Chain A
């Protein structure tokens, strides 16, 4: 099945079960850095789960404040990533702290990954990754190593759901703009 054949009616919520192994057999598309994880009614996404270097928890909370500040200062700072949502979690397993970074995107990770590395390197946004065990020290100049770390620590989902399936963030923003324009138009007609 191609992406378009899956993209049906946005008014009809949809769920998709993803087979064991994380790919639909016989329709795996190759990206530049490896096979592309399937697009689902919840668009593209990833969930990176990794152990943090012991004792580094405070860095993560500091990082959260920095991200908040960066986005407030420059709202389009993450635009290149074609995002819907990002969530960051810290949690404990047997006394060790793990980090989860989950994102919902409109493009597969493969497409804009160098832009992401460039953005992180330029803005310091990814400094939190440097506090994860096994993260490559030379990530700023070695995109393939960064990508390998992300792929190695990605835990693909086996089920995804979309209330308005396959709709991109740009389409949602266009719809809201249209609504605003219409209400403005009605105001002007009074």
Chain B
């Protein structure tokens, strides 16, 4: 039985937010961090609360901590040592594994995210800008009361127009394929796959491999928690549009190139089901837009290129043990919309998202290392993910086509990693436990 009242809402629910804000925090001492946490934890809603009142609510708050942050709050050494190694090391130390080299290297990250002083994140999702501003002021007042708590940086979230469906700055429809957790009552859309054991995403429950094992201690700290990999990914919209123009003579050809990079038309219609022409009605229909496989429907990638973003992030029936590799994605776009036809304005815009999973090394890091940035994925030889892979201008993208494939060489980087971090997302009881730690536990720890 899933304990909805003890799981932070972000893990299990998607809220109707059009805006929001992330604040990245540092604690100079344990007492101030705990004072901040004690005050904010009353606002961090559980999945049960959000399910009950989402229609009336105007804002939703989540808090999570880096390993350094748990240390700063006063979690004792014995307990800290029970967290998995990749989380203890943090995202910066894992840069090479994740493909965060060159332009994506943590040396180039912004907002203090690469600093060991990054201890916590407060995530605000808000229904509108007025509510965000109200919450921002309220939080600034709270931080001002907690001497020793410092805001390293903040990022305002903005949905991009048109607002009637979720999409990124490149124009791709988002939130099309999310795993469903067994026992939530949620019915997977056709093609999504059977519901997965809760332990794939929430600590303390059986996973696809069996009963829970090797959880961080004490149990009250880990139960109903999870891990979040944060990624701030700048999208180079003007460069992306230039690329489409360069490789497609007509608007139709340009749309097809955009679709081939992703595996779906920007409307969301999958190329497996609409190989030659966009079908926006299909793209918008959750009963149809995820209902496909690759092994039978597109083994050679004539519809969805083998190296396209969608085929890498979820190879479906062409990878082994997919049930052990699934991830929940949450997040939003940030930065101003760049209107079609407008020149590059120098403003940073992109996606600021969380990948939520029970094992960073087995789920998130595997996807980054083996699917996104492995040049020999599907024997492709010299390719990485065309959207989020580490691109330095030397790699290619091959579009299978009869009689002869199309090969694009010197693929530019359409995105740049501007920051990231590994966070532990505690359950509600665990937040209370952290808020009430006392310093004796440090001395005796």
Contacts and interface: CB of A to CB of B under 8 A. Distances in A.
Contacts of A170: 379
A143 B379 contact: no
A177 interface: no
A112 B84 CA distance: 19
Interface string A136-149: 00101111100000
Contacts, number: 56
B361 A32 contact: yes
Residue among A32, A33, A114, A119 with max Cβ neighbours from chain B (10 Å): A32
Contacts of B213: 138, 141-142
Interface residues of B, number: 25
A118 B374 contact: no
Contacts of A111: 369-370, 374
Residue among A107, A114, A118, A138 with max Cβ neighbours from chain B (10 Å): A114
A4 B84 CA distance: 33
Given A111-B370, A141-B213, A143-B362, A80 B320 contact: yes
B105 to A, nearest CB: 14
Interface in B177-230: 209-211, 213-214
A29 B96 contact: yes
B96 to A, nearest CB: 4
Interface string A158-175: 000000000010110000
A144 B362 CA distance: 10
A31 interface: yes
A114 B97 contact: no
Interface in A100-128: 106-107, 111-112, 114-115, 118-119, 121
A114 B324 contact: yes
A32 B96 contact: no
Given A4-B375, A111-B374, A121 B369 contact: no
Contacts of B320: 79-80, 112, 115, 119
Interface of B: 84-86, 96-97, 209-211, 213-214, 320-321, 324, 361-362, 365-366, 369-370, 374-376, 379, 381-382
7 smallest beta-carbon distances between A and B, as pairs: A141-B213, A80-B320, A30-B96, A111-B370, A32-B365, A115-B321, A115-B320
Interface of A: 3-4, 29-33, 79-80, 106-107, 111-112, 114-115, 118-119, 121, 138, 140-144, 168, 170-171
